[in-house]
């Protein structure tokens, strides 16, 4: 297992004046690419993608307190199920050890879809130390998906320095990153290692495939990134594989009907628009947006970032108020990587909606929007003058838990 540690410090941005935002959006719009721009700008290639609704601007999100990962353990799987059920902490405590240093754990075992609870799967753990200043360590030959399936990925840390949250990304061909849906094994003490597992729909453990992974660790004032390689049976970490085909017969955003949305942010799913609860706010950076997903909004107030699970979403858009004029619109992706600017499609709904304009950003052809964190900024004018606002959505890779 190869590990590389690269802390990222993100400065918070001051609240922007609507006119200033409008000018900023104009500058970005000048560089919009006309030809298939759904590619990650920092890796030079491939697809990028994303979903929410109207509300008054909510207060700035508070930084969540330190402690264990908030996502709770899911409901216990059925008693009879194919595969290995999610283990309890006491099942893995004896092998993960207690490492009081920044590092990465790989929990391995011999399983198949026929493995049942109570069967000895030969659990073992490999650990690689991470030095924040020195970089990383070399390949770990003990972590091979061919010798034993990698059932869990985890992190260790000094006492009192547990990350607030974790995201796991698998690198795909041409520089894209797939958000991996993981669930933490509930641990009794905040300083215990954090072990993340993948689960099937039935609740059985699904091994991690061989490849290049990126772990993002949320800290109080920064996001730390750790790169991890899981080797195959030959002992080498394979090149990134193409994106898997998970959904079919998708309807593009440009062919969808958004007329059911009265006003606000929406996603297009199976030919229709889905309104999602999210507040209008200032543009957020990656760090602020992640912290916002952990903050509990006040009663009756929509969150600044909406966490949603829409595996068949093909586009993101905003429905404005009647007779407004859209000046500019820009879609950004905050995580896992930025987007090259994407030109929106403009439209309008007449009749009962009083000539209401809308814009929508179409996703990659023939594919759903990739899970990630997106921000859609729009400036428009109406009888009250110039306005500018941003809507944020966290498009999750699996059901939203807790």
Q: Could you give the domains of the chain? A: 10-64+246-395 (no CATH), 89-230 (2.60.40)
pLDDT value, residue 12: 54
pLDDT value, residue 201: 86
207: buried, middle or exposed (CB in 10 Å: 19+, 13-18, 0-12)? buried
CA–CA gap between residue 2 and residue 138 (Å, rounded): 5
- Determine the Cα angle at 121 with ends 117 and 122, to 5°: 145
**Which has more confidence, 122 or 80?**
122
Q: How many alpha carbons lie under 13 Å from residue 254 in its C-beta half-sphere?
A: 10
CA–CA gap between residue 108 and residue 153 (Å, rounded): 9
CA–CA gap between residue 208 and residue 180 (Å, rounded): 9
pLDDT value, residue 181: 97
- 203 confidence band (pLDDT: 50, 70, 90): confident
- The answer, yes or no, to whether residue 184 has pLDDT greater than 60, is yes
In the predicted model, what is the mean pLDDT of residues 205-215? 91
Tell me if 271 sits within 8 A of 363, measured CB to CB: no
In the predicted model, what is the mean pLDDT of residues 152-172? 94
- 208 confidence band (pLDDT: 50, 70, 90): very high
Give the 3-state DSSP-derived string for 297-342, with helices as H, strands as E and coil as C. CCCCCCCCEEEECCCCEEEEEEECCCCCEEEEEEEEEEECCCECCC
**Tokens of residue 148, six digits:** 């034993």
6-15, 55-64, 359-368: segment of lowest average pLDDT: 55-64
**Tokens of residue 17, six digits:** 């004046």
pLDDT value, residue 113: 63
CA–CA gap between residue 391 and residue 379 (Å, rounded): 12
- Residues linked to residue 306 through DSSP beta bridges, in sequence order: 393
Q: What pLDDT digit, counting tens, does each position of 357-390 carry?
A: 999 999 988 889 999 999 999 999 998 999 999 9
Q: What pLDDT digit, counting tens, does each position of 48-59 carry?
A: 333 333 333 332
In the predicted model, what is the mean pLDDT of residues 70-86? 51
- The answer, yes or no, to whether residue 35 has pLDDT greater than 80, is no
pLDDT value, residue 118: 60
- Determine the Cα angle at 397 with ends 44 and 312, to 5°: 90
In the predicted model, what is the mean pLDDT of residues 65-71? 34
Alpha-carbon distances of 14 from 11, 21, 131, 284, 379, rounded to whole Å: 10, 12, 33, 9, 18
Burial profile 251-288: b = 16 or more Cβ within 10 angstroms, e = fewer: bbbeebebbebebbbbbbbeeebbbbbbbbbbbbbbbb
- The answer, yes or no, to whether residue 38 has pLDDT greater than 90, is no
In the predicted model, what is the mean pLDDT of residues 148-167? 92
CA–CA gap between residue 281 and residue 267 (Å, rounded): 18
């Amino acid at each position: 297992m190869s590990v590389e540690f690269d802390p990222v410090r993100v400065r918070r941005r001051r609240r922007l004046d609507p006119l200033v935002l409008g000018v900023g959006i104009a500058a970005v719009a000048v560089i919009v690419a006309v030809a298939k721009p759904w590619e990650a700008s920092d890796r030079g290639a491939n697809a990028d993608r994303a979903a929410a609704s109207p509300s008054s601007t909510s207060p700035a999100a508070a930084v969540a307190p330190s402690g264990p990962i908030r996502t709770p353990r899911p409901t216990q799987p059925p008693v009879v199920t194919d595969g290995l059920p999610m283990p309890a902490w006491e099942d893995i405590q004896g092998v993960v050890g207690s490492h009081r240093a920044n590092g990465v754990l790989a929990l391995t075992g011999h399983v198949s879809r026929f493995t049942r609870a109570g069967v000895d799967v030969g659990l073992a753990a490999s650990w690689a130390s991470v030095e924040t200043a020195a970089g990383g360590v070399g390949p770990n030959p003990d972590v091979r998906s061919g010798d034993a399936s990698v059932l869990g990925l985890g992190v260790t840390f000094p006492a009192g320095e547990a990350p607030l949250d974790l995201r796991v990304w698998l690198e795909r061909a041409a520089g894209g990153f797939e958000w991996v849906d993981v669930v933490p094994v509930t641990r009794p003490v905040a300083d215990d290692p954090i072990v993340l597992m993948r689960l099937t729909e039935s609740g059985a453990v699904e091994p991690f495939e061989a490849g290049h992974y990126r772990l993002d660790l949320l800290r109080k004032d920064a996001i730390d990134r750790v790169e991890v390689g899981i080797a195959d049976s030959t002992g080498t970490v394979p090149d990134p594989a193409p994106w898997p085909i998970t959904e079919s017969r998708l309807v593009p955003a440009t062919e969808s009907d958004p007329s059911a949305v009265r006003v606000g942010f929406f996603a297009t799913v199976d030919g229709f628009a889905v309104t999602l609860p999210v507040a209008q706010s200032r543009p957020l950076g990656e760090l602020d947006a992640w912290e916002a997903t952990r903050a509990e909004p006040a009663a009756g107030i929509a969150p600044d970032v909406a966490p949603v699970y829409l595996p068949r979403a093909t586009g993101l858009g905003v429905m404005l108020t009647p007779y407004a004029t859209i000046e500019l619109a820009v879609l950004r992706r905050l995580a896992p990587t930025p987007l090259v600017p994407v030109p929106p499609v403009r439209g309008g709904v007449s009749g009962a909606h009083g000539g209401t304009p809308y814009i929508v950003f179409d996703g990659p052809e023939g594919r759903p929007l990739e899970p990630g964190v997106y921000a859609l900024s729009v400036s428009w004018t109406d009888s009250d003058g110039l306005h500018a606002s941003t809507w944020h959505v966290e498009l999750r890779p699996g059901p939203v838990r807790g």
